[in-house]
Amino acid sequence: MDDLIADFVAESREMLEALGGEIVAWEADPDDRARLDSIFRFVHTVKGNCGFFDFPRLETLSHAAEDALADVRAGRRQPDGPLVSAVLAIIDRIGEMITAIDNGDGLPEGDDHDLIEALEPGAEGAAAPVAAAVADQGRSAAPRTIRLSVELLDRVMSTVSDMVLARNELARRLRESSTEVSVDGAFERLSSIIAEMRDAITRTRMQRIENLFVALPRMVRDLSAELGKQVLVDIEGGDVELDREMIEMIRDPLTHIIRNAVDHGIELPADRLKARKREIGILSVTARQSGNQILIHIRDDGRGIDGARLVEKAVASGVIDKKDAAKLAPREQLALIFEAGLSTAQQVTAISGRGVGMDVVRSNIERIGGVVEVDSVPGQGTQMTLRVPLTLTIIPALTVSIGAQHFAIPRSAIVEIVRANGESVTLDRLGGAGVATIRGQRVPEVALADVLGLTSAVADEDRNLVVLRPAGGDVYALAVDKIHDHEELVVKPAAPQVMATGLYAGTTLADDGSPILLFDPAGLAEVGGVRLEAQERTARIAEGPAKAKAQADEVLLFRGLDGGRRALRLGIVDRIEEVPAAAIKPGAGQLRVQLGESILPLAGVNGDLGDDKVRVFRLNDGSQEIGYAFREVIDLSTVDKDVIQAESPGEVSAVTLIAGEPAELVDAHWLFSTHAGTRARNAAGQPSCRLPAGDPWMQNMLRPIVEAAGYRICADDEEGEADLVIASTDRAADLKAARKIVLRAEPEASGSGDDSIYRYDRAGLLMALKSAGGTGR
């Protein structure tokens, strides 16, 4: 009898999980006969089982609900809000009783007269009979299933994990010894069988994420009714499968986000009408698989999150100081919502408070190797994105080492592996932080030995760089001593003290049985000083010519020798050098600096050099270099405010606000034209000019002077014909514009018919700009 009751409890719970959403969906579409039949079958099954097990109170409840639903099926009654609420209340009571039975407590005392009375039709009486109910729609037969305990599944999965470790160790031993071909063949068959068994056992742990979503419509309905709001739930992707353990771990964070969205995200109907929105708010929850991750998007069309108010509260509570707050990008402002105690809600309610508890949501998701992202537009809505791994059991990983210490990195986060001393790779220090330039693109560089405090016998230039992209983050390069094998590793939780460092996602065993810690790429970046949210302002490895315009607005903010706050466009800064003051001497009519084997013209000397070290930007236009002396780097930033042009050409081309304070923009074109031997002249301007988006010299060197002359730079894909087009000699043949300027890289023309202009002939360029037509400045 105990086994029969256990089966009854398990079957009832399975049906209860699906029913909450079914009833809410049936209320929205009363003509959906399939859902009505599903609800009716549940209460009918419970009634029959209760008679067998002698649970009279449970039987009475289910019988009353069955009668009411039978009237609806027969057309004697129409479903309405009160009926749905009454059925939901009875199903809730049935769930409470089934839980009590499962715990061995017996049914609680009392009666359910009030719940049964609520099933009766309203004062207006029962609805008039309607046409006979439609025939029951046939359903395909369910697949054959058996019910297993979770403990048994975990034991089987643990055994398979041990088999994977044993296979890895055997593979290592076979590699180290000479074996016959037949032995190798047998091992390959064994390895294939283990892989198939692992996949099959893994699938037994997988559940449709629908099991997580099914309770959401009911929860949203109840919250909306309590708050006097109208919210429509749209759910997609319920067929996506996720590890059972993972589903349980994200259940509470997802519930908290949903409650926040309904309580503080979506406005009251009257407020929505004032904002010219429809009264009914939309809450969409979607899931999809991306590689070995599951992405869950929760979006509402409510009031959104006010980043400025978050910053104000963060400053007031001491989370961040006012100076740093002024430097936050919009994405960084929104990320403050994950700080403990911060909220943009007018008041904190008993249901939720947007921001209150979001720090717990993030920590819970990150604990399982996931990421929480937030995106919001005030007045339009908020989207939360959960990125979580498919499973926490067996993952492909790359093993690396520092000295004799071995570590593992999830393969899903690896973009590429390069040698630090490769032809396309250079390592520099920029503002005290490491920067790797890979094929011309800069990414932050983290030395693993420095982060862990380990001694490395490998020189910086001989290390390997593992380029990582954490889930939802931006790329950075991790410098390690050696790269080892790609393997499938069994991941288990590490000790709490280890996990508290923020560096690790778990622990595993190597093929020789030695323990290996698995890195969390996002946590490693944070501990290493890489601010992933700020990387929107720096170059990416994957970016191409289409982003040249955006790069042109990125600047390096610094203080000159005179203490002035200035900015250089990031695209022309090749690296930062530190030289003795004695390496700076006048020569050939101007000040020059010795950098290694090179002697370069030096600009920026507008203050005392001192007797010690001098920091120098090494500026490069693609073919020539000059130096620029400065005191200190302040930050990487972007020019997103109005620019006030200088009245006459010179080292400073304009002034603008950067991070809330004035900063002078250094004219790189003037620097090169002056210090590389050409002369400066006054500028003239004209309204519309098109430059090649894929040419870094045009964008970083020429564009500022053309804009200073009063031209508006057109994008390549912008419709309409520009007043003027500028191109280099190798692309001149493709120009069909009526007015054009062709620039050459050599000082001397190729012949009498060559009407191109030397690109550092500033006077000739400005004259050509003026003669192209328009008003001079």
Q: Please compute the mean of the pLDDT values over residues 324-335 and round it to a whole number.
A: 82
120: tokens are 């009766």
Q: What percent of the chain has pLDDT over 70?
A: 81
pLDDT (tens digit per residue) in 157-167: 778 777 877 88
Name the pairing type of β-strands 584-587 and 598-603: unpaired
Average pLDDT, the chain: 77
Helices (H) and strands (E) in the chain, counts: 23, 35
CB 769 within 8 A of CB 669: no
pLDDT band at 683 (very low <50, low <70, confident <90, very high): very low
Position with higher pLDDT, 42 vs 224: 224
Q: Please compute the mean of the pLDDT values over residues 193-202 and round it to a whole number.
A: 78
**Backbone conformation region of residue 601, classed left if phi is above 0, alpha if psi is from -120 to 50, else beta:** beta
What is the side-by-side strand order in the sheet with 515-519?
482-490, 394-402, 405-410, 515-519, 504-509
Determine the residue type at 110: G
The phi and psi torsions of 734 (rounded to 5 degrees) equal -85, -10
In this structure, of 56-65, 352-361, 656-665, the range with the lowest mean pLDDT score is: 352-361
pLDDT of residue 773: 56
d(CA 416, CA 655): 40
Q: Is the pLDDT of residue 489 over 60?
A: yes
Question: Which of helix, strand or coil describes residue 538?
Answer: coil
Q: Is the pLDDT of residue 619 over 70?
A: yes
In this structure, of 124-133, 544-553, 682-691, the range with the lowest mean pLDDT score is: 124-133
pLDDT of residue 538: 35
Q: Is the pLDDT of residue 382 over 90?
A: yes
pLDDT of residue 748: 82
Q: What percent of the chain has pLDDT over 90?
A: 6
pLDDT (tens digit per residue) in 525-535: 878 877 544 34
Indicate the DSSP class of residue 747: S
First to last CA, the chain: 97
d(CA 709, CA 707): 5
Handedness of CA 217, 222, 227, 230 (dihedral sign): positive
Name the pairing type of β-strands 515-519 and 405-410: parallel
pLDDT of residue 550: 42
Buried b (16+ CB within 10 A) or exposed e, 82-94: ebbbbbbbbbebb
Q: Which residue, among 16, 25, 78, 3, has the nearest Cα to 45 in the 3D structure?
A: 16
Q: Is the pLDDT of residue 298 over 90?
A: yes
pLDDT of residue 74: 82
Q: Please compute the mean of the pLDDT values over residues 620-631 and round it to a whole number.
A: 84
Kindly report the number of other CB atoms within 10 A of residue 611's CB atom: 9
Q: Indicate the burial class of 673 (C-beta count within 10 angstroms; 0-12, 13-18, 19 or more).
A: buried
CB 209 within 8 A of CB 11: no
CB 260 within 8 A of CB 350: no
Residues pairing with 725 in the sheet: 690, 740
Q: Is the pLDDT of residue 680 over 50?
A: no
Q: Is the pLDDT of residue 283 over 90?
A: yes
Q: Which residue has the tokens 């939901």?
A: 88
Q: Is the pLDDT of residue 6 over 60?
A: yes
Q: Indicate the burial class of 1 (C-beta count within 10 angstroms; 0-12, 13-18, 19 or more).
A: exposed
Question: Which of helix, strand or coil describes residue 279?
Answer: coil
Question: Which of helix, strand or coil describes residue 463?
Answer: coil
pLDDT band at 381 (very low <50, low <70, confident <90, very high): very high
pLDDT of residue 553: 65
Q: Is the pLDDT of residue 312 over 60?
A: yes
Q: How far is CA 145 from CA 5, 102, 141, 417, 544, in A?
A: 19, 22, 12, 46, 52
Q: Is the pLDDT of residue 143 over 60?
A: no
Q: Is the pLDDT of residue 126 over 50?
A: no
CB 309 within 8 A of CB 336: no
Q: Please compute the mean of the pLDDT values over residues 641-662 and round it to a whole number.
A: 84
Q: Is the pLDDT of residue 341 over 50?
A: yes
Q: Which residue, among 547, 573, 614, 602, has the nearest Cα to 435 in the 3D structure?
A: 573
Position with higher pLDDT, 541 vs 58: 58
- DSSP codes, 211-236: HHHTTHHHHHHHHHHHHT--EEEEEE
pLDDT band at 290 (very low <50, low <70, confident <90, very high): low
Instruction: Tell me how far the alpha carbon of residue 346 is from its chain's centroid.
Output: 28
Indicate the DSSP class of residue 197: H
Q: Is the pLDDT of residue 393 over 70?
A: no
Most confident of 22-31, 692-701, 767-776: 692-701
Position with higher pLDDT, 748 vs 552: 748
What is the side-by-side strand order in the sheet with 371-377?
231-236, 281-290, 293-300, 381-389, 371-377
Q: Please compute the mean of the pLDDT values over residues 306-330 and round it to a whole number.
A: 83
500: tokens are 């508290």
Q: Is the pLDDT of residue 134 over 50?
A: no
pLDDT of residue 122: 61
In this structure, of 10-14, 246-250, 265-269, 685-689, the range with the lowest mean pLDDT score is: 685-689
Counting every residue written for the chain, the total comes to 777
Q: Please compute the mean of the pLDDT values over residues 265-289 and round it to a whole number.
A: 90
In this structure, of 121-130, 171-180, 475-484, 712-721, the range with the lowest mean pLDDT score is: 121-130
